[in-house]
Amino acid sequence: MNTASRLINSFLNLIYPPHCASCGKSLKATDEAQACQACIAHIKRNPRPYCRRCGRSVQKAQALCPECLKMRPSFSSAYSACLYEDPLKELIHKFKYNNKRGLSKVFEKIMIDYIADNHEITDNVDIITFVPLHKKRELERTFNQSELLASAIGRVFGIPVKGCLEKRVQTKNQNELSRQERLANVKDAFAIKHGMENIVKDMDMLIIDDVMTTGATLNDSSRAIMRGGAKQVRCLTLARGN
């Protein structure tokens, strides 16, 4: 956000005092985060140990979760900073569907701190990319939440961020579907953008998204990148659902 935008935003906050997007508590006019510290403190971190492949919390270190024992995903490893539970679940919903873009500051900090504690996520990563929205949906929403998060992470860790993927078909919202429906919904929905093949080839990639549940979206995105000749794909999300 540039200086002019900050001044306008601060002026509007003075006239229309901001409120926490989760609990509704009044915030300071200078607060750009759009969430109170109490709600932020109640966001649950993804507890260790993690499944060594998909990042789901498991009982035993170095173990694979039941899903990864049944099917090997296209990505080499995935990580999630937090659990997809309230208040984070509600904040993510407001971020995506109610244009609460100020919440990106909260989410960016959580993910950056998580990477700092799990440095293997970005070790030797050549390029960061993000899960794209279909063009129609991005026009409706006016922004891609995953791109915002990826841009902040790339800036902090000095890794180039490239929009390498495109979503070729407009699918249903994953949160409206069962597990099996989610897997079918995004199958072959993603592809490497024209002209990005040489960018992806032989690269170690990190894909950013906001939420991982079944892993269908990240798996299909990773498959597209691996088909494009990438060396390896890792994934990172803000939240992990069941």
Residue written as token pair 């798996």 = 219
pLDDT for 132: 95
pLDDT for 210: 97
Length of the chain: 242
**Residue 47: closest CA among 60, 33, 37, 58:** 58
Element (H, E) at 239: strand 232-240
- Tokens at 151, concatenated: 């841009």
Buried b (16+ CB within 10 A) or exposed e, 116-127: eebeebbeebbb
Give per-residue pLDDT as tens, 177-193: 556 666 566 678 899 99
pLDDT for 133: 93
Q: In terms of pTM, does the model score above 0.75? A: yes
pLDDT for 60: 87
What whole-number distance in Å separates Cα of residue 129 and Cα of residue 154? Answer: 9
Give per-residue pLDDT as tens, 75-114: 999 999 999 999 999 999 999 999 899 899 999 999 999 9
Domains of the chain: 33-240 (3.40.50.2020)
Question: Quick one: three-class SS letters along 189-219?
Answer: CEEECCCCHHHHCCCEEEEEEEEECCCHHHH
pLDDT for 217: 93
Spans in the chain with pLDDT lower than 70: 1-16, 172-186
pLDDT for 13: 55
